[in-house]
Amino acid sequence: MKKYKTFFIKTLVIFLSAMIIIPFVLITWVDYMIGRHNYSKTADYINYLIKQKQQIAEKYDKLGNKIVICSGSNTLYSINSKYIHEKTGLPVVNFGIHAGLENYIFYETEKILKSGDIVFLPLEYDLYKKDSPTVPSQLAEYLVTYGQDYFPKFSIIQKLGLSFYLVKLIITYHKLDADPVDEEILSQTNDYGDYIGNIGTKANLPEKSTYKYIIEEIPQDNKSFALYDFINYCKNNNIKLYAMLPFICHKPEYSESEIKAYNNIKAFYAKNGIELIGDMKSGSVYDKNLIYDYGYHANQQGQKQRSDYMISVLNNYLDK
């Protein structure tokens, strides 16, 4: 009996030690590996976009204050800030990146903001939800190469999840470094950070990828909601913030659940002293001929339509 008891205790000690040592080793390893290799061509392209837009913001900062339009790819594809600048002379930064980065969008946006700037926020509806306890796959794909500064902000669970993701990435591709991004892809954005490769339309778009709907999962506890923190950051740093609805392909009809979702989004902004520009249909287009390859992505015709709308918004709200 004593022999079994000793074996059980040893096994338990080994198991508990492993539960502590293995996570520690994995977290230390991924912390060391971040930034040493380029694991993803997609991540490399996203970083190219971020750096490009940072340079544009720095150029405008030397001249005074700027206007920043911040969200995921609905802004990247639907806003042509070069066109807006040529029409108005305004220093507009298209800070549309990738909605899959989720809260990281706010982190990168805060880096380029300064007192007196104006932010327009046409967030994708998928971003109206509480912070995830884990790292979303698209964000993880980016962070394992470019997340050195962001890694310390994660919880132990998130750091561990990122280490597992990196192991999976290496095993899947059987190599550390991804192929370089094609120059053709890099040329699909202009010097202002706008996507300009969206020429024409994609035929036979499946309905699932084309139509988008108004949704929200805004948490009752704002402590777990990065958008709330971003709003406060802007208030505390003398940055004017306006909310907008994103560019989406939508059916002509709106369901009761969408009406409720819109009202909840509007109420959230009103509660926090932020004006939501437009009505429930603002940003929605019903013509597939204005869509490129996804329900949040405009083609060049849709981009011009959205940019003209943005010009009218800017003229109206800057006059105020």
Task: Tell me: pLDDT of 76 over 90.
Answer: yes
Helix axes 41-61, 137-146, angle to 10 degrees: 70
Question: How remote is the C-alpha of 116 from its chain's centroid?
Answer: 23
- Residue 51's CB: how many other CB atoms inside 10 A? 11
pLDDT tens digits, residue range 172-216?
877 788 888 888 888 899 989 999 999 877 767 777 778 999 999
Helix axes 300-319, 81-88, angle to 10 degrees: 50
The one-letter amino acid at 188: Q
Which pLDDT score, from 0 to 100, does residue 262 have?
98
**DSSP per residue over 213-246, as a string?**
----B--S-GGG-HHHHHHHHHHHTT-EEEE-PP
Percent of the chain scoring above 70 in pLDDT? 92
The helix (H) or strand (E) run that includes residue 17 is: helix 2-33
Question: How much is the average pLDDT of 19-44?
Answer: 82
Which pLDDT score, from 0 to 100, does residue 185 have?
85
Of 180 and 269, the one with more pLDDT:
269
What are the structure tokens assigned to 195, written together? 């996507």
Question: How much is the average pLDDT of 129-135?
Answer: 88
Question: How much is the average pLDDT of 26-51?
Answer: 88
Map tokens 């001929």 to a residue: 289
Question: How much is the average pLDDT of 227-256?
Answer: 97
What are the structure tokens assigned to 168, written together? 């999976």
Query: 84: number of CA atoms within 13 Å, CB side?
Result: 29
- For residue 95, which of 282, 263, 239 has the smallest C-alpha distance? 239
Residue 152 and residue 159 in contact, taking contact as beta carbons nearer than 8 Å: no
Question: How much is the average pLDDT of 230-251?
Answer: 97
Q: Grade residue 13 by pLDDT with cuts at 50, 70 and 90.
A: low
Residue 241 and residue 234 in contact, taking contact as beta carbons nearer than 8 Å: yes
Task: Tell me: pLDDT of 27 over 90.
Answer: no
Q: Grade residue 89 by pLDDT with cuts at 50, 70 and 90.
A: very high
What are the structure tokens assigned to 122, written together? 């046409």
Helix axes 2-33, 156-173, angle to 10 degrees: 80
Radius of gyration of the chain from Cα atoms?
22
- Could you give the 3-state DSSP secondary structure of residue 69? strand
Q: Grade residue 100 by pLDDT with cuts at 50, 70 and 90.
A: very high
Which pLDDT score, from 0 to 100, does residue 35 have?
87
Question: How much is the average pLDDT of 19-37?
Answer: 79
Which pLDDT score, from 0 to 100, does residue 8 have?
55
